[in-house]
Amino acid sequence: MSNSRRPTNPAASQQATPRGTKVVIAAVAVLCVVAIVVVGLVVSDFKDSSDAAGSPSVAQESLAPGECAEAPAPPASPASYPDAPDPSLAENATWVATITTNCGDIELELDGAKAPQTVASFLQLSKDGFYDASPCHRLTTAGIFVLQCGDPTGTGGGGPGYEYGIENAPDNGAYPTGTLAMARSSDPNSNGSQFFIVYQDTMLPVEGGGYSIFGKVTKGLDIVQSIADKGVSGEGGDGAPAQPVSILNVSVEKA
């Protein structure tokens, strides 16, 4: 895939890029910003790999609220897979996942019944250590409110080597606070490894099929909010988080 994979402005279709918009007519400005951001919830080409860089250890217990340890260097050569795992791996079950980051733990509930292919992929990549030491490369703070992760290269263009279609996307384009969904390019069949966490109610475009919702945050959303509060590096409303945050490892088990 060559397109960046991000949810775009008012809905969530691909990369959101709301950068400095003057407030002349508030309503118009907001709508423009939202549209730009939606374009940003997109994922660039998927060239992932599962070369787990190990599980960098961080003294999580010593972190104060809102504090982060130093982020690890991303893996030198991410793994790549020929095919997506069989959806049956999710077994129509509910799964519990813990994403350990350099800023603390984020706990998730995954819905294998509504999004079997997506959950099966997340389970396999997590088990293989594909996400270990991968940066959360994108934060949007205007119109669309998400933290995007899942690309070991940290560029927004990496993936697992395989792609699959949309599952369980809302018809109304509403992504409530705490939603866990997949990022993709303009191609509806470009889901791979990149995902985003919604930290404030967000509307994303439904054109093109929307974005696959495969779970929700059950604990640790305050960590994502804390990262969002620190803004985007270099200012603006869409870009790398000013506070570097990386996934150290992901553990998953059936609920």
Q: What is the DSSP string of 184-197?
A: --SSTT-B-S-EEE
Question: Which residues contact residue 99 at a Cβ distance below 8 angstroms, ignoring those fewer than 6 apart?
Answer: 105, 106, 107, 108, 131, 149, 220, 247, 250
107 pLDDT exceeds 80? yes
CATH numbers and ranges of domains, the chain: 5-254 (2.40.100.10)
Written as six digits, the tokens of 250 are 């992901």
More confident residue, 60 or 210: 210
Per-residue confidence band for 63, with pLDDT thresholds at 50, 70 and 90? confident
pLDDT of res. 237: 95
